Structure 1
Amino acid sequence: MAVTSPSQATSYDVFLNFRGSDTRQGFTGYLYKALFDSGIHIFIDDEGIQSGQIIPESLKEAIKKSRIAITVLSPDYASSSFCLDELVTILECSKNSGLLVLPVFYKVPPGHVRHQRGSYGEAFAIHEQGLHPNMEKWKKALKDVANISGFPLDYGNEYEHELIKKIVERVIRFLNNDEKSLHVPDFLVGVGSQVEEIRNLLAVRDNGVNVNMIGIHGMGGVGKSTLACLVYNLITAGFEGSCFLQNVREEANKHGLKHLHSIILSQLVGMKEINVASEQQGISIIKNRLKRMKVLLILDDVEKHEQLQGIVGSADWFGPGSIVIITTRDKQLLASHGVKRTHEVKELNKRDALKLLKFKAFKMEEVDPSYKEVLNQVVTYASGIPLALEVIGSNLFGKSVQEWESAIRQYKRIPNNKILEILKVSFDSLGEEEKSVFLDIACCFKGYKLSEIEETLRALYDNCMKYHIGVLVEKSLIKISHDERVTFHDLIEDMGKRIDRQQSPREPGKRRRLWLQEDIIQVLKDKSGTSQIKIICLHFSISDVQVVEWDGITDMKSLKILIVRNGIFSQIWNYLPEGLKVLEWRA
């Protein structure tokens, strides 16, 4: 059997810790081959390396460089002081570097390991005679490893090859998950110390609590989601499964909690085709499937207590060592759910805000001194909000000092606390058709696939969509995610919807687009729609499905796009305008 040398600089997928005389020629040898045949890079600590009484530094480095440690706890494992010292080192690394520990209870019950009974009790009786100084460390290590969800061999009901298959599947699932890091902006400032503070919070454990739950809160646009992404990427390697659940508030309102349950189960346990029939069923499946798994779950942008209750109701839903991180604008929401450790994301200080603005506006830190005053004025008016700085910087990219001064004169007319109005400056700089495209997306198409938006809006803008989308991306008004969906921050969405409502605020039937549920129902009921209306986008929440009377749509002769979700139609087909080009119907 090949043994990987610990002197190699490469990292390892798996570190195998075992008592050679017990399992080298049997179970561990077969496990090694199954892992190796699956393309997994393994360090196997064979007893040929165990020449001394103290673990060499090279072996400690091999443990640190591994992503998973598999410990085969066989009947004679505890008789080896070297194996026990190695286990202590493995568990220390699991706390400090995110190493995942997978214990295998081979021919020994977990209770014997936890309480040093049976062969483990006999081994410790001998160790006690030798007055070994590490006795207490060993006992604690065995107790800790026995409390980790592992792989007991159920004799009489399970063959060894079946257990090996389960272990290999778990390892592969973890390694695949480990490689799915989240995208974060290329240029970040003011986050290093905050990431460290959050990791310090995660290092604190409450007595008797196996799951660490923390909260990240702060105002919109301040960088909560970005911070959560950074923490996720840094610690995800230490878990059997990881899930970053984006836009909880929006997704729950649109699709219900059962939709979020499906995403969690898909990402954490690979249940790809699951169809959760109800919230109650989703909760039951999560509790049953995840209660023994060490998982990392991040809930981004939570708004309501029932969202927390329906996704992370209590700590015992997840296995020991799991971490749940919640981002929200509402600190009280965290307190009401019993989240004791929280981190507030605050606005950037002047130095960091200036760095971010320079990067967005000039792509460099050193700029012409003539810009110094205008840069400082923008930093003051952006109030340290990263989103505002990004949008303003992108909008003024490549502009002259005079153009900066002109923009600042607009900012000076705006109260300092109205960040939405500052962001509106980027909107005002758009062409008329680009403004219209942005408002269409902000009001009706957030989260849609880019290809779907381009195809749908072609009904209004012919073949100019790619150009318009490009302009909006350059202005930092929209972003294209890794899965080709169009997204933007809540502040940008709020700004767009506010601008749209200001167009004929008292008579919604005279607007270009209708997207607010009460406006649409009122216009249809009153039959006050006009030929100004081009788009109707009606989203009922799962819990608020209604029958809609559609005869009021007849006078909307310029209507081109009709999108209805979760509505129950009432003879709609009798009233559709002849010019309608796009109909999306999801009952």
Structure 2
Amino acid sequence: MGNKCFFSFSLVRDNEAEMMEKIAKDVLGLLNATPSRDFDGMVGLEAHLREMMSLLQLDNEDEAMIVGICGPAGIGKTTIARALQSRLSHRFQLTCFVDNLRGSYHSSFDEYGLRLRLQEQFLSKVLNQNGMRISHLGAVRERLCDMKVLIILDDVNNLKQLEALADETTWFGPGSRIVVTTENKEILRQHGITCTYEVGFPSREEALEILCRYAFRQSYPHDGFQELAKSVTWLCGDLPLGLRVVGSSLRGKKEEEWEEVMRRLETVLDRDIEDVLRVSYDSLDENEQILFLHIAVFFNYKDGDLVEAMFIDGDLDVKSGLKILVNRSLISIDHFPESIVMHKLLQHMARQAIHKQEPWKRQILMDAHEICDVLETESGSRSVTGISFDTSTISDAVYISKNAFKRMRNLQFLSIYETRSDRDVIVHVHEEMDFPHRLRLLHWEAYPGKYLPCTFRPEYLVELNLRENMLEKLWEGAQALANLKKMDLNWSVYLKELPDLSNATKLERLTVSGCQSLVELPSCIGKLHKLEELKMDLCNKLQVVPTLLNLASLAKVDLFGCRKLRRIPDFSRNIRQLLVSRIA
């Protein structure tokens, strides 16, 4: 005889409602008796679910709650929400996963009409009744206020979506739970959602396992693929979406094919990954997009105050813009040390966004061959605000003419560097070349001249980075340096003296490590009252530094390997780190 289920109850009128609720729960429990195995084996999922179960407080059945899940695109918010629904659906009278919410608040309807339409679609899905029509905005409360429901609102990107679908917890019955996933933390705050789970990146070990699950259908690499798998995991920046897409594309491929994919990953983003990441970028306004692109190219891992100083005379509200980028999970802020951090794949997406711009609109030049042509033919334009030139991506010598930058009057950020040490590209600079006068960032590795041009004016510079150059001297006399905050001259092995820095009253960091021809630091350094870090390690000819460096701001000093130094200067008691060894 087949399995049967019997319900017995006393027909007592006063207990009728209670009994019916119990019967409903029992039936729902039986219907959902077979647990889902859809999410078995997902790496790291159980830890996420434990955090969510704690926030959901399922034992509290006296009231409804709204809980948020936030994090960057591709981190796994939707997967966590779907797994929650699968695991908890048997505990609720109704459960519904509402997806495709992004962009649902853009239409030709007025605001009232939009809310009405959203509620119709929402109730149709929750109650499983196609084509529902409602006549007023109280319909959600009317239909659901006595029901214990589990609702997932996925990929919310507009506060009005929440106001239309879950404006108050009283719209739903006691014990109900509404889970909202979003990339924008500000939306959760604006809606008063205080219980929020921010999804973090997997550990490097978990990330490797995610890749292997898709590439090898097991939790570890095949023999001979260990190092390749680790490298691909690193190139994906531990982002679950990237690991899944790239891992799937590598399934069954040979080692040389893995190597080809790795070379491509260094410069090109997979279309499926780009489509997901690009959505958040496209939702930014024009100024926020400009800030995002500049961070991606020039200011990743830079201090936020430094970035604000870079744009101080422009139209960008950097402080507000950074807050928006953080809230939308496009950047994060590290605090030790404090710096802006953008994910590797978001940087790739930003570069591709720049590449797709119309050439005449492009503010940032990144293509090495285009840059060579612009610098050699003096064909730049006023629209250009930044140049990021990786010289290791070209094979021929580069010739920078005298007036290469003349037409780029708004150029503020110039970065010339090489990412590959196996290339030896020669950069020729005209000895009378004019730098742009409004430069705020000058980053030029291996600058080829003995001196900067006599017309060089650093009055707008915020950061000067000329490491590993051929310079013997920077400039003569005192220059206007009122904006300079950071100066990096590491391994300027021919540099014989530092310039007069007495006007660099905002200078916070000065590094001259490995300047092996440097004999003396100018006394003006002892008067830089905002200097926080001074690095002069491995300056093996350095003999004289100011005897008094009693600067209240100075926290870190490195004199390691200054073997000819005659005397250690007097330091402030505020200093936190002092490295000294091998001195005379």
What's the TM-score once normalised by structure 2's chain length? 0.43
Q: TM-score, normalised by structure 1?
A: 0.42
Larger helix percent? 1
Which of 1 and 2 has higher RCO (CA within 8 Å, sep 6+)? 1
